[in-house]
Amino acid sequence: MGHGETTSVRHFVAVHSAKGGVGKSTVTANLAIALHQRGLRVAIIDADVHGPSMGMMLGDQQRPEPGPNENVVYPRERCGLRFISMANLVTEQTPLIWRGAMVHNMIQQFLNGVLWGECDVLFIDMPPGTGDAQLSLSQSIPLSGAVVVSTPQELSLVDTVRGMNAFRQLNVPILGVIENMAGFVCDDCGESAALFGEAGGEILAEEFELPWLGRVPIDAMICEDGDAGTPTMAVHADSKAAAAFGHIADALVQRLETSNNALAFHFEWKEMGWNDRVSEPAESEAGSLDVQSVWQVSQDELGIKWADGSMSTYGCRELRLACPCAVCIDEWTGAKKINESKIDMAMTIKEVSSVGRYALAITFSDGHSTGIYHYERLRKLARAVGEGRSK
């Protein structure tokens, strides 16, 4: 796969775990290689600043090569994957607190400052835990969904459940749960001895109505291969462990295909007279947890019909002023950085597209397009600014 000078990613997939040390990075690296072996173009952003282990796991902690201009670099490449990790950029001496401060901007930097070329799947190996990182990620990247990695012991624990709920609240689809370090597989007899109880993950997945992606056995080889910088999937492709990653990769591909087809929509703004109005959507263009359809109400108004039947309309300029992207809002203080007087009074929209099943991406007539408008936020905005206009 040659390097493109642009980035085009079909699926952004967040890999989440409630705690560190459950094998999130190990699973990400092996799963990525399994997808690559199936012919996909795969990349990884290691956003786990507290334990940026991807460089070590893939045996490459070199600095990235500079790109054609000073603002961009090329990703590193190993095992057919493209990747970038904090480990390629900082030394072990970089203080933890500074790393924490970087996490918000880092993902944007890794996304915009790295020439990824064309990717079918770009994994984001997230910092463990729940809350802020997920929120900031889902606001800055159009995620196809999240994969949750857990050990059998952690699976039913409150943190894991909370982590999944955080994604759910943001309407980021959970593509599936992977149970890592599951019952030890005996090499001699091939029997799986349940160390922590059989089928715990599947039961949990059922209970929470989550898709189940599969189980990776606990296996010293996985650990040794990871430590050596040569993931099992690359060097022991015939092993039982590799077969497990292979099954998970197949399940994930299937999930991505179905989750993508179900709800995608996209429309271009039409030229309308300033007095023309379409007060109701013609037909359902999108259906989802929260939004049933989206339509152009007038030359400068966007309409949303919610799943509960209520409708809201938004002025294009109001939406532009409410842009949540890092250029318009200070990520730390939440203060607006946008200069209202510079925003065209006759602002309209060029294009609207769905982002997963949780948000809209809008390209405005001034070319601005970096904000991701969560349905949840659009609901609040309708109450805050559009009360008079929404019905």
| Site residues, ligand ADP (CB under 6 A) | 17, 20-26, 51, 53, 180-181, 216, 218-219, 222-223, 226
In angstroms, the CA 30 to CA 362 distance is: 35
- Closest to 211 (Cα-Cα) out of 259, 166, 244, 163: 259
Q: How far is the CB of 386 from ligand ADP (least distance, A)?
A: 43
Q: How far is the CB of 219 from ligand ADP (least distance, A)?
A: 5
- β partners of residue 148: 16, 177
- Closest to 44 (Cα-Cα) out of 89, 79, 90: 79
Q: How far is the CB of 203 from ligand ADP (least distance, A)?
A: 20
Q: How far is the CB of 42 from ligand ADP (least distance, A)?
A: 17
Sign of torsion over alpha carbons 273, 279, 285, 286: positive
Q: How far is the CB of 13 from ligand ADP (least distance, A)?
A: 15
Task: Using the minimum distance from each CB to ligand ADP, give the nearer residue, 150 or 299.
Answer: 150
Strands 143-150 and 7-16, by their bridges, are parallel
Q: How far is the CB of 40 from ligand ADP (least distance, A)?
A: 21
Q: How far is the CB of 388 from ligand ADP (least distance, A)?
A: 49
Task: Using the minimum distance from each CB to ligand ADP, give the nearer residue, 238 or 308.
Answer: 238
In angstroms, the CA 379 to CA 257 distance is: 28
**Taking CB positions, which residue lies at the least distance from ligand ADP?**
23
What values do phi and psi take at 31, rounded to 5? -65, -40
Task: Using the minimum distance from each CB to ligand ADP, give the nearer residue, 26 or 288.
Answer: 26
* Amino acid of residue 50: H
Distance between start and end Cα atoms, the chain: 51
Q: Encoding tokens for residue 186?
A: 């005996």
The DSSP code for 21 is T
Q: Which residue has the tokens 């409630």?
A: 18
Task: Using the minimum distance from each CB to ligand ADP, give the nearer residue, 26 or 160.
Answer: 26
In angstroms, the CA 384 to CA 377 distance is: 10
Provide CB contacts within 8 A for 158, sequence distance 6+.
none
Task: Using the minimum distance from each CB to ligand ADP, give the nearer residue, 22 or 49.
Answer: 22
Task: Using the minimum distance from each CB to ligand ADP, give the nearer residue, 125 or 301.
Answer: 125
Task: Using the minimum distance from each CB to ligand ADP, give the nearer residue, 27 or 328.
Answer: 27
